[in-house]
Amino acid sequence: MPQFNDTEDRITVEIKSFEKGCEMTFTQVILVPHEEGWTEEDIEKALGQYNSQTEQGWGYMFEGLKRLVETGKINYPS
């Protein structure tokens, strides 16, 4: 999402079908930009922050998808 960040992450979506539905496995590899001179600790801290923010964002999107599938519409939070 270039409007939020200029990094390029790798996203993989796998869908496994079952007799009654399917299962989706979603994987995102986050590439953390860092400045020269950062320590491993600095990079790990930044990665933790990126992971937390990204997980929250995907959670919102998947909840919207769930609502769309269940009800045919998305109720946007106010």
Is the pLDDT score of 40 beyond 70?
yes
Q: What is the pLDDT of residues 45-56, one digit of tens each?
A: 888 888 888 888
> What are the phi and psi torsion angles at 17 (to 5°)?
-90, 150
**Residue 31 DSSP label:** -
The Cα–Cα gap between 32 and 6 comes to 10
Mean pLDDT within 21-29 = 89
Cα atoms in the 13 Å half-sphere on the side-chain side of 49 = 9
The Cα–Cα gap between 9 and 21 comes to 29
The Cα–Cα gap between 36 and 41 comes to 13
Sorted by where each begins, the domain ranges of the chain are 10-71
Helix (H, G, I), strand (E, B) or coil at 4: coil
